[in-house]
Chain A
Amino acid sequence: MTAAAAIRPNSLDAAAARARCLKFRRRILDMSQRVSALHIGSAYSCTEIVDLIYYGLMRRKADGSFLDTFLMSKGHGCMIQYAILEDLGILSRADMDAYCTPGGRLGVHPDHGNPGIVAATGSLGHGLSMVVGMALSEKANKTGGNIYTVLSDGEVQEGSTWEAVLMASSLKCDNVVAFLDYNNFQSLGKTSDTHPTFYPLVEKFTAFGWESVEVAGHDSAALFDAVTQRKGGKPLMVVARTTKGKGVSYMENVPIWHYRSPNRQEYEQAVKELEAMVRS
């Protein structure tokens, strides 16, 4: 078998993705009952995106390790990453149980050194430059590895993000695939109210030398197609239209759910709604 043949290609089973995303949202919801805050809305916003990256896009080498790399630039959305890493057996049940406890190693933001976490994020506007550095290393070493990342739309207000956007295209990082979790919300309110002139988005990235496309961000197939059918030769920015708190009616687009945990009654309602979301 050649090395190339040993690498698992990109693939998507949409029904399996829906089932996983339900499972992950449920897992995060369960975790929410242990702590007062965990950025649940931010994690639900990018659930399908991060699921696709791990299960549909990141290729594995013959030894089972990932050829490609994922860096969660919007670190506050990392509950979905934790849930997936647990599902993959990279984080343990004990790790999850000890989330935000004195003896645990998982906090509200991803920490460098934890299993499956390549970089410490949480302060916005750091991730994309690190992605560019990793992409350059992969190219210099001819590994063929791609670097995937998820940015928040609030994060794109950081000047440092635009330095990195410029850098990725100038340095010809065609092995960078970024998703913009375009949920139009940040802590204080609507992103489009904070910066009305920020739109349209796709044109901004194409003007900076990226390939960019806007798709429905909770549609795994649309996200998959955006990546696998790209023209290539440039870094790719998938602007993913999402809903903050997706799947739970009272969380959707309500800023307080950027951060807080549901109470017991809210929890039970959320469980019902998530189940219904998958059946619909």
Chain B
Amino acid sequence: MRNTFSEALYQAATKNPRVYIVVADISPAGSMGKFSAQYPERFINVGVAEQSMIGICAGLALKGNRPFAYTIATFSLYRPFEMVRDDLCYQNLPVTVVGMGAGVIYSTLGGTHHTQEDIAIAGAIPNMQILAPCDPLECTDATSWCAERSQGPTYLRIGKAGEPVLTKDAAEPFEFGKVRYLRRGTDVCILSYGVIMKKAAELADRLQAEGKSVSLVSVHTVKPLDRLGIAEALKRHRKVVVIEEHAPQGGLAPQTKQIAWDIKATCQLHTFTLQDAFIHNYGSHDDLLAAHGIATDRIHAAIG
């Protein structure tokens, strides 16, 4: 996903001389090398200085530019948090904070490199928008939206590498602020976002093989959340399942429950999130997710 992000950003920078990228000592994956070679004055590497990365982005935006701050999610959002809040969100500047490898993707690197609470933290700040594309194609759409259309700060939560394409035959195109049906069904609706959509798709495949009619929905815009779209999903399906790679509090799962209460939903609602715990497991991404209780078999069994 980081390669498609960097290619989309390179394309955006080619179209618009106001697009900058400020990186914090991160390996130049994909088209990042092309970006830095062709637009050296708009490719800024601050080194290991993330507070400055955000402040510089704010200064660039104050002069009318559209900068992206780019590094591993924990370092782009947590380390410089007050700069994100004050410099970007309080001033409502069109800066995109890219959280690469978000969630627990960096499974073997340990808890210092995980962002289990980023949606809750970013989502709590006024003006902040959150986009979490589910595959490389959606990442391209989301990146282009940030570069070309966003009017305020955005936390762009992306994966790392090797994510399968899930949206090629999506029932709907990407539209900021709207839930996106990748598949449309009538019995079960699975709501998810980000790279964990792969597990949601596996679950959908299994349910469909059992003869169920399944909706698979990418809630790529986590903030502002498409409350009407979620309400519709809750009304039109007998069973709704939320799967998210995030702590139980402050993410999609509790917000879906709030909406369900508000509309007096009568469907079954099952939510699967990371635990409110630091888990010391140094296996694969899947292994760590399983340790948190997110595994296709387990979810399949739990929803009955």
Interfacial residues, chain A to chain B (CB-CB below 8 A): 112-113, 118-120, 123, 125-126, 128-141, 159-160, 163-164, 166-167, 170-171
Contact = CB atoms under 8 A, between A and B. Distances in A.
A174 B64 CA distance: 21
Contacts of A130: 55-56, 58-59, 62, 87
Given A129-B56, A130-B55, 16 more contacts: A120-B86, A120-B90, A130-B59, A132-B52, A132-B55, A134-B60, A137-B60, A139-B41, A141-B63, A163-B49, A163-B52, A166-B52, A167-B46, A167-B49, A170-B47, A171-B44
B55 A133 contact: yes
A278 B55 CA distance: 39
B91 A112 contact: yes
A126 B57 CA distance: 12
Contacts of B196: none
Interface of B: 41-42, 44, 46-47, 49, 51-52, 54-65, 67, 82-83, 86-87, 90-91
A140 B64 CA distance: 12
Given A118-B62, A140-B41, A159-B51, A132 B83 contact: no
> Which one of A113, A138, A163, A166 has the greatest number of beta carbons of chain B within 10 Å?
A163
Contacts of B54: 129
A118 B64 CA distance: 12
A134 B63 contact: yes
A132 B90 contact: no
Contacts of A126: 55, 82-83, 86-87
B55 A137 contact: no
B63 A129 contact: no
A23 B52 CA distance: 37
Nearest to B58: A130
A146 B51 CA distance: 23
Contact of B59 (A120, A123, A136, A166): A136
A137 B59 contact: yes
Interface residues of B: mostly helix, strand, loop or mixed? helix
A141 to B, nearest CB: 8
Given A118-B62, A126-B87, A135-B59, A140 B52 contact: no
B91 A120 contact: yes
15 contacts: A112-B62, A118-B62, A120-B91, A123-B86, A126-B83, A128-B55, A129-B51, A129-B54, A132-B59, A133-B59, A133-B60, A159-B51, A163-B51, A167-B56, A171-B44
B60 A129 contact: no
A210 to B, nearest CB: 15
Given A118-B62, A136-B44, A139-B41, A167 B52 contact: yes
B9 to A, nearest CB: 17
A278 B46 CA distance: 46
A25 B56 CA distance: 33
A119 B62 contact: yes
A101 B86 CA distance: 22
Contacts of A136: 41, 44, 56, 59-60
B65 to A, nearest CB: 6
Contacts of B83: 126, 129, 160
Contacts of B47: 170
Given A112-B91, A126-B86, A137-B63, A160 B58 contact: no
Nearest to A118: B62
